Chain A
Amino acid sequence: MKWEQKFPELDLYKVIKPKRGGITVKGALARAEKEIETHRENAMSEIDSELVELTKIAMANEADSASAVYKHASNIVAVAGIFEPSLCMAGQSLCELAHQMNEGKIWDQASVFVHVESIKQMRENPSTDKDAIMSMVKGLRAVTGKVTKKAQTAKKAATK
Chain B
Amino acid sequence: MAGLIPQDLIINLEQSTVLLVDENKMSLDILNSAFIGFGTKERIRSEDIEGAKNLVITKRIDLIVLDCGLADGASFTFMKWLRYEAPDPKCYAPVIMIASHATLAEVSGARDSGAHFVVAKPITAATLLSRIIFIAKEQKPFVKEEPYAGPDRRWHNTGIPSGTSGRRRDDLDEELGDAIDPNMSQDEVSAVIKPTKASL
CB within 8 Å of B: which residues of A? 1, 3-8, 10-16, 18, 20-26, 28-36, 38-39, 42-43, 46, 73-75, 77-85, 88-89, 92, 95-96, 99
Check A78 against B26 for contact (C-beta < 8 Å).
yes
Check A78 against B22 for contact (C-beta < 8 Å).
yes
Chain B residues with CB under 8 Å of A4's CB are: 143-145
Chain A residues with CB under 8 Å of B92's CB are: 6, 8, 10
Chain B residues with CB under 8 Å of A15's CB are: 11-13, 16, 132-133, 136
B38: contacting residue among A13, A20, A32, CB under 8 A:
A32
Which 10 interchain pairs have the tightest Cβ spacing?
A32-B37, A81-B121, A18-B12, A22-B12, A35-B33, A31-B37, A32-B125, A95-B101, A85-B122, A5-B141
C-alpha gap A70/B141 in the complex (Å)? 38
Q: How many residues of B contact A (CB 8 A)?
A: 60
CB within 8 Å of A: which residues of B? 5-16, 22, 24, 26-27, 29-31, 33-39, 62-63, 67, 69, 89, 92-94, 98, 100-103, 121-126, 128-129, 132-133, 135-137, 139, 141-145, 152, 154
What DSSP secondary structure best describes chain A's contact surface?
helix
Closest partner residue, chain A, to B152 (CB atom): A5
Show 30 A/B contacts (Cβ-Cβ < 8 Å), sorted by A: A6-B143, A7-B139, A13-B135, A13-B139, A14-B12, A14-B136, A16-B136, A22-B11, A22-B14, A23-B11, A23-B39, A24-B7, A24-B9, A24-B11, A26-B7, A28-B39, A32-B35, A34-B37, A35-B37, A36-B34, A39-B26, A39-B29, A39-B30, A77-B121, A79-B26, A80-B122, A81-B122, A82-B123, A82-B125, A99-B103
Closest partner residue, chain B, to A24 (CB atom): B8
C-alpha gap A16/B94 in the complex (Å)? 15
C-alpha gap A129/B12 in the complex (Å)? 38
B123: contacting residue among A5, A14, A74, A81, CB under 8 A:
A81
C-alpha gap A12/B139 in the complex (Å)? 9
Check B27 against A79 for contact (C-beta < 8 Å).
yes
C-alpha gap A79/B11 in the complex (Å)? 27
Q: Which of A23, A38, A73 gathers the greatest number of chain B CB atoms within 10 Å?
A: A23
C-alpha gap A89/B31 in the complex (Å)? 19
Contact (A78, B27) CB under 8 Å given A29-B125, A32-B125, A34-B37: yes
Chain A residues with CB under 8 Å of B145's CB are: 1, 3-4
Contact (A77, B100) CB under 8 Å given A4-B143, A82-B123: yes
Chain A residues with CB under 8 Å of B9's CB are: 16, 24-25
Contact (A81, B27) CB under 8 Å given A29-B125, A74-B101: yes
Chain B residues with CB under 8 Å of A30's CB are: 37
Q: Given A3-B152, A43-B26, A88-B122, 19 more contacts at CB 8 Å?
A: A1-B145, A4-B145, A5-B141, A5-B143, A6-B141, A14-B12, A15-B133, A21-B12, A22-B10, A22-B14, A29-B7, A29-B126, A46-B26, A78-B100, A79-B30, A82-B30, A82-B123, A85-B122, A99-B103
